[in-house]
Structure 1
Amino acid sequence: MAENDTPVQPRLQVVSQFIRDLSFENVAAQKSLNASEAKPEITVNVGLDAGKIGDDLYEVKMKVNIDATAEGNKIFVLEMEYAGRFVVQNVPEAQLHPFLLIECPRMIFPYVRRIIGDITRDGGYPPLNVDNIDFVNLYRQEVERRRAAQVEGPTSIS
């Protein structure tokens, strides 16, 4: 193998990251519920999207929805869309989609986690430390969900 035949390594560079949209609703405080004594049940849902916005420039969006309930009462709702813009080079086209939806979210997730902790603390609750997310598994689940939807085909109501 000649020196010029060495494979070119993929390049990933974070250009910017930012909150696109953020909403925190302290339902318990609005309804005068005493939520501090109850242990809440927390549901975290994460969605990902990616798109090309320029030459080698991509935007990856992470949508996080968090619901906290206790004793059948909603305590708070947090919805956030966080985006990162990345320069991605030397990634084969066939591997680009999983690369964008696995590697890029891994880069921005620590910032998303910190913001969620800050918002919940500033909202009057203990800071919520969201568990690590397995982005490979999340990607696989989405691929399977889409595959199953294609197999089922469109449904019609008569």
Structure 2
Amino acid sequence: MAEMNTNDLSNGQDNEPQLILQKIYVKDVSFEAPNAPQIFQEIDSQEQPQVQLNLAQRATDLGSNMYEVVLNLTLTCTVGQRTAYLAEVEQAGLFGVSGFNETDRAGIIGSYCPNLLFPYARQVISSLVIEGGFPPFLLQPINFDALFAEQQRRSMGSGQAPATLNS
């Protein structure tokens, strides 16, 4: 098996496109059940809990063709007017991206990387909800390609250049 130095993402002789996953990690995690234990009785009643998912992502250029991509998921469950729980995770990854043109690099960072991070974030959210004493909740898959395309369309429609990276 050939060895590959994952720390060397310099524009080599061939300048071949390279995408290297360096690390996946939880950057921040939070769980709150502000109305426990009373909320458990309300969940067991006939009133149906309402769940809202907020999704955000950001990418930071770390230099040397390295990017940190952070996927932020916030899940809020309410019963009536009361919050049952709030689960939040910032799932991050370090990616080496070199040799791609600007459009392809933006697509990788804006769509491929969040898609890779999502199963990890989904698992963290699921564990938090269960360990918080609530019924299991499984987030459905998210089409990051469509979200990225919509973001690009909005950026073009507003006359602004698409912004993909934070410095």
TM bucket, shorter chain: 0.7 to 0.9
From 138, 141, 146, give the equivalent of 2:150: 141
**Does the 8 A contact of 1:12 with 1:87 survive in 2?**
yes
For residue 43 of structure 1, give the secondary structure of its aligned residue in structure 2: strand
Shift of 1:149: 5.5
TM-score computed with the length of structure 1 as normaliser:
0.79
Q: Deviations over 1:111-142 (max 9, x none)?
A: 11111111100011122211101001111233
Higher fraction of helix? 1
Q: Report what 1:104 is aligned to.
A: 113
Q: Secondary structure at the match of 2:57?
A: strand
Would you say how many aligned residue pairs link Structure 1 and Structure 2? Answer: 144
Report the secondary structure of 2:138's partner residue: coil
The share of aligned pairs that are identical, in percent, is 26
One-letter amino acid of the counterpart of residue 47, structure 1: A
Q: Residues 36 and 14 from structure 1, CA distance in 2 versus in 1: closer, same or farther, beyond 3 angstroms?
A: same
Map 1:3-152; keep pairs closer than 5 Å: 10-29=17-36, 32-33=38-39, 34-37=41-44, 38-147=47-156
Taking a change above 3 Å as real, the CA distance of residues 9 and 113 of structure 1, as seen in their structure-2 partners, is: farther
1:75 positional shift: 1.0
Report deviation, 1:72.
2.7
Residue 40 of structure 1 deviates from its aligned partner by 1.4
CA distance in 1, matches of 2:42, 2:117: 31
1:84 offset after TM fit, Å?
0.5
C-alpha separation between the residues in 1 aligned to 2:105 and 2:130?
37
Q: What's the TM-score, normalizing by structure 2?
A: 0.76
Distance change (3 Å), C-alpha of 1:80 and 1:149: farther
Q: Using the alignment, how far apart are the partners of 2:108 and 2:117 within structure 1?
A: 14
- Provide the secondary structure at the position in 1 that maps to 2:43: coil
Unpaired stretches in structure 2, ≥5 consecutive residues: 1-13, 161-167
Q: Give the gaps of 5 or more residues in structure 1.
A: 1-6, 152-158
Amino acid at match of 1:26: A
Q: Is the 8 A contact 1:62 1:83 kept in 2?
A: yes
